[in-house]
């Protein structure tokens, strides 16, 4: 059955998208880079997010690309190891040209996180979850 899952995202400019994600702390498997795509690797499990130039993406998705200014196609959630890491990532996003649409804040008494958009408007959610404070 399924051995692996990865996420494919359309981007306007692969080099600019790669630079943005590099600046905020993500890594890449450059063996898979082409002029119209790059392979971003996330977390200890090495989750793959492929960033494809929009024309290439739409050619294999056989669908129009969502206008991320007016709608969301997905909310990508990633974990953080601490509240400080959430704060640091929010600052890095701003410095790299992204938009923090939800500043770092506590949620439900046991989570701390923020929301940001990358250069192409994809929405990301970063959470530190303190399971010791999870209500019964």
> Distances from the Cα of 39 to the Cαs of 13, 27, 31, 43, in angstroms?
14, 9, 8, 13
Question: Average of pLDDT values for 4-22?
Answer: 96
Q: Say yes or no: 7 and 28 in one domain.
A: yes
Total number of domains in the chain: 2
Nearest to 78 by CA among 90, 66, 96: 90
Identify the weakest region by mean pLDDT among 3-7, 48-52, 120-124. Answer: 3-7
2: confidence class by pLDDT, cuts 50, 70, 90: confident
DSSP annotation of 134 reads -
Residues 59 and 80 in one domain: no
**Domain limits for position 38:** 1-65
pTM higher than 0.85 for the full model? Answer: yes
CATH number of the domain enclosing 80: 3.10.180.10
Could you report the per-residue pLDDT of 68-124, keeping only the tens digit for each? Answer: 999 998 999 999 999 999 999 999 999 999 999 999 999 999 999 999 999 999 999
Q: Does 1 lie in the same domain as 55?
A: yes
């Amino acid at each position: 059955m399924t051995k692996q899952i990865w996420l494919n995202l359309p981007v306007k400019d692969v080099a600019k998208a790669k630079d943005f994600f590099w600046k905020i702390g993500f890594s890449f498997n450059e063996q898979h880079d082409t002029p119209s795509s790059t392979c971003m690797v996330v977390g200890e499990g090495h989750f793959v997010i492929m960033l494809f130039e929009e024309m290439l993406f739409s050619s294999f998705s056989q669908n129009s690309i969502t206008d991320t200014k007016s709608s969301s196609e997905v909310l990508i959630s990633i974990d953080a190891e601490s509240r400080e890491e959430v704060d640091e990532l929010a600052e890095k996003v701003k410095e790299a040209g992204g938009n923090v649409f939800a500043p770092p804040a506590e949620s439900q008494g046991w989570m701390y996180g923020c929301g940001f958009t990358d250069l192409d408007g994809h929405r990301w959610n970063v959470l530190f979850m303190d399971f010791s404070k999870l209500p019964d």
